[in-house]
Amino acid sequence: MKASRSAGSLVGVIALLAAAVRVLRIGMPIGRYVVEGHSMEPAYRAGDRVLVNRLAYIRWPPRVGDVVVLYDPERRSRRLLKRIAPPTDGDDGALRRWIVLGDNAADSRDSRQFGSVARRDIIGKAWRKY
């Protein structure tokens, strides 16, 4: 079938790229993530696959409403999926800290618990689901 062949060659290309990236020890510009948990429902459900653009915030800072993957400030080996929320105390981002919240506030551990996050905690912007 034509589709599976083109998918097959795409897999080949992506796998080769991934291998090259691993060998060269450079960061992949695009990361693949699978969502776990319910704090971003209904936008992102458990099991959803999402591509994350790690280069999104090189030139411009995160914007309110962006969904981002970030390091859990309380345990850096874990990564979280949250949405950038408006600054709370009227600051305009000059502090370069961001508030991240889960869409599903009743079931989310986010800036309400661990406070604002720094730019370096943010890995990238959720780009598209696949």
Partner 1 sequence: MSGLTLDSVVSRALRMVDGLSAPDVALAHCDIPCGIYDPHYAQIAALSVLRMNQLSDALELAPDLKNKPDQAKYHNSMVRYILVKEEHAEIVKREVRIIWGDYFKPEHAEKYADLHATVWNIMKLASKNKVEMNMQAAQDLLVAVQKFAEMFWDSKGTKTARVPSGQAIGGELVVPQ
Instruction: List the one residue from 21, 27, 32, 61 that touches partner 1 (CB under 8 A).
Output: 32
Map the footprint of partner 1 across residues 35-54, applying CB under 8 A.
35-41, 44, 46, 49-52
104 to each of 16, 22, 82, 101, how far by Cα in Å?
A: 38, 35, 10, 8
Q: In whole angstroms, give the CA distance from residue 92 to residue 83.
A: 17
Q: In the numeric block, which tokens belong to residue 5?
A: 């062949």
Burial class from Cβ neighbours inside 10 Å (0-12, 13-18, 19+) for residue 59 reads exposed
Least Cβ distance, residue 107 to partner 1 (angstroms): 6
Q: How many residues bind partner 1 (CB under 8 A)?
A: 43
> Is 122 in a helix, a strand, or coil?
strand
Instruction: List the one residue from 20, 34, 55, 64 that touches partner 1 (CB under 8 A).
Output: 34
Q: Per this entry, what is the length of the chain?
A: 130
The reply on whether position 113 binds partner 1 by CB under 8 A is: yes
Residue closer to partner 1 by CB (options 16, 64) is: 16
> Is 67 in a helix, a strand, or coil?
strand
Of the candidates 108, 20, 12, 99, the residue with the CA atom closest to the CA atom of residue 62:
99
Map the footprint of partner 1 across residues 80-109, applying CB under 8 A.
80-82, 102, 106-109
Instruction: List the one residue from 29, 63, 74, 118 that touches partner 1 (CB under 8 A).
Output: 74
Instruction: Using CB under 8 A, list all residues that contact partner 1.
Output: 2-4, 6-8, 10-11, 14-15, 18, 31-41, 44, 46, 49-52, 69, 72, 74, 78-82, 102, 106-109, 113, 130
